[in-house]
Amino acid sequence: MATISILDDPNNDIASAVLSVAQAGNGDSTNIVNRGLIRYGGLLRIVNTAGATPTVTINIRGSADNVNWFNVAYATAAAPETVTVTAVVVTTTATNYYLLREGHPWQYLKLAMSANTNETIDATYWSSPYRQF
């Protein structure tokens, strides 16, 4: 598992990191995002491709120390003011966007996938080091 830093680059208004590419099975995302001191909101895109009898449970996990993990507060694009920390359960091919709340004290971000039957996951995180989305 690689940890990808999102650097505070004055020439880059939007920073991004790939968490997973065509990842199947259970376990953590291939990569972990290290957002450093950035505390602005972020956008997480999860694209899943379903096979026969598909399902996957995805927990969006954050950590202050890259050791102790907890579910990160998010809202969906369809209900941007309804915040939750519950696991996402996906049962079809879909592209979903999750708005990660600003000001929360996590530095590291990963996905934890379980109960995966015939789903592959692509996930990308975006944030701005200078302004909120």
What is the per-residue pLDDT for 7? 54
The residues that bridge with 39 in the sheet, in sequence order, are: none
CB 81 within 8 A of CB 23: no
Which two structure tokens, joined as six digits, stand for 45? Answer: 């895109």
What pTM was estimated for this model as a whole? 0.87
Provide mean pLDDT across the span 32-47: 87
What is the per-residue pLDDT for 3? 62
Could you give the domains of the chain? Answer: 2-127 (2.60.120)
The residues that bridge with 23 in the sheet, in sequence order, are: 121
pLDDT in tens, 40-94: 889 999 999 998 889 999 999 999 999 999 999 999 989 999 999 999 999 999 9
CB 2 within 8 A of CB 31: yes
What is the per-residue pLDDT for 133? 42
Nearest to 98 by CA among 67, 56, 133: 133
pLDDT in tens, 111-127: 999 999 999 999 999 88
11: confidence class by pLDDT, cuts 50, 70, 90: low
Nearest to 85 by CA among 97, 96, 70, 95: 70
